[in-house]
Amino acid sequence: MNDMKHLPNSPEARDIAYHFHGYTNAAAHAETGPMIIERGEGIYVYDSGGNRYIEALSGLWSAAVGFNEPRLAKAAADQMAKLPFYHNFGHKSHGPAIDLAEKLISLAPVEMSKVFYTNSGSEANDTVLKMLWYRSNSLGQPERKKVIARQRGYHGVTIASGSLTGLPNNHRSFDLPIEGVLHTTCPHFWKDGAPGETEEEFASRCAADLEALIEAEGPETIAAFFAEPVMGAGGVVVPPKTYWEKIQKVLNKYDILLIADEVICGFGRTGQMFGSHTFGMKPDVMVMSKQITSSYVPFTAFMMNERFYAPIAEESGRIGVLGHGYTGGSHPLGAAVALENIAIIEERELVRNARLVGARFRKQLESLQDHPLVGEIRGVGFIAALELVNDKRAKSVTGPVGQLGGLMNAALQRNGAISRNLGDAIAFCPPLITTEEQADDLFAIVKASLDDVTRAVKEL
């Protein structure tokens, strides 16, 4: 990637020597070295060579307001000067945590009761699972401990949340998933729909698969269903028509809680404040991270309804304490930045911008549908994916999975955009501040990169 890795004491060489990267081939990294990003400006980031890139994935689905918002820097500095750290153990609290909890409850698509703070989406989903077990014990239902997630779903990488995640590479060699975490059908109609099956028929089949799994395991053993409104890392999978209506009917039939993982979808990404708004979901718990602070500060929250909260509160009263919490949970810096970030999203109408500019960008992507390497264009709001194939009839790739996606990802980077290939799907999740002109620029890069990949494939 960079000849600088050969220079003694260069940042690249020192990165190779000392830095162990997440989601990276560690063996390959010793050979390729890193791309070093030095600064950000709006929707752009700049590498150490001065090259500018549109950050087409908002970093990691995260930077809603871009990469140098001065109001967030000021909010952080002001809070750092006033109260740089405090906790919420033993009846302690502080203003930013209280204000943010109240604000989040006011934004919820359904009535919610309380907010709990953690440091990452992985921790939050891990905590929700732990509290589900606690809740079941409180209710005198010690057998109700299993949970269901979905194949290709993404819920984090801790032992528990990594088990909820339904992607093979998050399980291989980690001895995951743990016992009691089950997976049901991925709702990807284009890839998994049967010949002649309509979207609604596929949605019915997904719901039937879920019900069959519940019946096979025993309804009295299932505590909750974890799901993203739109799957992110699993390939930007938008649920088929009537999917959530039918899934929730099954959950209600068996008194199973719905946990909405809004880590990617929340705060405007789907064209409404939450993905639960967009798809008519009525969750018992909503997990929020990433865009809650535009990831300027690691910070996460989940809110819960009274149905979820009351038995947990009762059990803590019986025991004498809730034996769970994080040093950085409710961190005043994160809460202050989150409040300012949400204020910016509301004042600048960034949810509306995501809806309008996102629709324009998807329409442009759809103009590529007849390209011989394009299998599917999918998305909602300002999140989208371009699925590459070299066998359009079979909707598949002949050859190694991820080869086409890797070629496209590299071409995008050469042409001035950073994204991420999820297998052979290229994900797009630009900052919510992206203008129509900037979206047009991104599409021009996508189109040129697709032409580059077409030439490269012919040479293979």
Question: Which residues lie below 8 Å from residue 442, measured CB to CB, with a gap of 6+?
Answer: 54, 56, 361, 417, 428, 430, 434
Q: What is the mean pLDDT of residues 61-82?
A: 98
Q: Residue 100: is its pLDDT beyond 70?
A: yes
**Residue 4 clears pLDDT 90, i.e. is over it:** no
Measured CA to CA, the distance from residue 183 to residue 197 in angstroms comes to 23
- Report the predicted TM-score, pTM, of the whole model to 2 decimal places: 0.96
pLDDT digits (tens, 9 = 90+) for 372-386: 999 999 999 999 999
Other C-beta atoms closer than 10 Å to the C-beta of 175 total 9
The structure tokens 């996606």 sit at 405
CA dist 238 and 244 (Å) reads: 11
Query: Which of 1-15, 137-151, 158-172 has the least mean pLDDT?
Result: 1-15
Question: What pLDDT does 394 receive?
Answer: 87
Pair 162, 126: CB distance under 8 Å: no
Q: How many whole angstroms separate alpha carbon 280 and alpha carbon 180?
A: 28
Instruction: State the average pLDDT for the chain.
Output: 97
* Cα Rg of the chain (Å, integer): 22
pLDDT at 29 over 60: yes
Distance CA 125, CA 302 (A): 9
Identify the band that residue 8 occupies on the pLDDT scale cut at 50, 70 and 90.
confident
Which pLDDT score, from 0 to 100, does residue 460 have?
64
Residue 220 to residues 20, 145, 150, 199, Cα–Cα distance (Å): 43, 9, 20, 31
Three-state SS letters, 297-359: CCCEEEEECHHHHHHHHHHHHHHCCCCCCCCCCCCHHHHHHHHHHHHHHHHCCHHHHHHHHHH
Query: What is the predicted pLDDT for the residue at 118?
Result: 98
Whether pLDDT at 223 is above 90: yes
Q: Write out pLDDT tens, residues 175-204.
A: 999 999 999 999 999 999 999 999 999 999
β partners of residue 391? 396
> What pLDDT shows up at residue 320?
97
pLDDT at 2: 65
Stretch (H or E) spanning 436: helix 436-459
Cβ atoms < 10 Å from Cβ of 167: 18
Backbone angles phi, psi at 376, to 5 degrees: -150, 145
Average pLDDT over residues 424-449: 98
pLDDT at 407 over 80: yes
Percent of the chain with pLDDT over 90: 95
The count of other CB atoms within 10 Å of the CB of residue 441 is 16
Whether the Cβ atoms of residue 387 and residue 364 lie closer than 8 Å to each other: no
Quick one: pLDDT at residue 396? 85
- Predicted confidence at residue 57, as pLDDT, reads 98
What mean pLDDT comes out for the span 418-435? 97
**Rounded CA gap, 428 and 88, in Å?**
37
The whole-number pLDDT of residue 216 equals 98
pLDDT score, position 358: 98
Asked if residue 372 has a cis previous peptide bond (ω within 30° of 0), the answer is no
- What is d(CA 104, CA 92) in angstroms, rounded to the nearest whole number? 20
Residue bearing the bigger pLDDT, 289 or 4: 289
Domains of the chain, CATH where assigned: 35-68+349-459 (3.90.1150.10), 71-347 (3.40.640.10)
Given a cut of 90, whether residue 55 has pLDDT beyond it is yes
Nearest to 409 by CA among 388, 431, 395: 388
Instruction: Using pLDDT thresholds of 50, 70 and 90, give the confidence band for residue 295.
Output: very high
Q: How sure is the predictor about 458, in pLDDT bands with cuts at 50, 70 and 90?
A: confident
